[in-house]
Amino acid sequence: MAKERKSAYRAQFDGHRRLAAAVILQAIKDVSSGGPSPQEKETAAEFLQGDMWPFSDVLDLPADGAALQDYLKNADLSSIEADPTTN
């Protein structure tokens, strides 16, 4: 049953939204973990600090270039715990 719920949730988002989210999450991961190399970490940090309007547009955030940065700064993701059964 968990797989059905997971699929239904993912189905709400088109490919562009999923791709945008994947790029953003990978950049966050590379910044926090150091990435494959120091250059990758720096590039990811520049990406996240740069003008995010294309992603803001895809994710229906205000297209002022700072909306996604503000969202990421204010997002309290610490309350989300990994569920080992949903990999």
Q: pLDDT per residue over 56-80, tens digit each? A: 777 777 766 677 777 777 776 665 5
DSSP secondary structure string for all residues of 14-26: -HHHHHHHHHHHH
What pLDDT score was predicted for residue 87?
Answer: 43
Report the distance separating Cα 4 and Cα 6, nearest Å.
Answer: 5
Residues 17-31: tens digit of each pLDDT = 888 888 888 888 888
Does this model's pTM top 0.75? My answer is no
C-beta separation of 28 from 48 below 8 A: yes
